[in-house]
Structure 1
């Protein structure tokens, strides 16, 4: 009877692939968050309300930088494969 291939990927490999997916989606999330202030209603005053928008954009910018740093650190860590045979070759 031939050996059956495991139905699921190894946990380490699965998490690494999901982190890579998150890194790929980060620019799309960034574009959405940067363009979001366009949908805000203007303030009731005649003056442009740029202070809140500026603080929001810089906050989004900092959060995206920290998220990219976090994901890049996790993805650049050496990949250790399980030797138990749970992972099928690519």
Structure 2
């Protein structure tokens, strides 16, 4: 994550990376909005439910859109791609 994006969004998770070439202005809910695109990637040590440590494999990705505070008077959203896992 770049230093300016980290300061601007106040995100502390080091597993989130941003594609700085893919920031766009678009219309969401009839309002001009700013969309930042990020990716959350990590490899878990164990299953959070059963604490099994073997057999965890990546199972694709899922897209989430999170609301952020306004930036320069525009509504801001974080379009976050998350990795899903199977046990």
Q: Smaller-chain TM-score range?
A: under 0.3
TM-score (norm 2): 0.20
Greater relative contact order (CA < 8 Å, ≥ 6 in sequence): 1
- Higher share in strand: 2
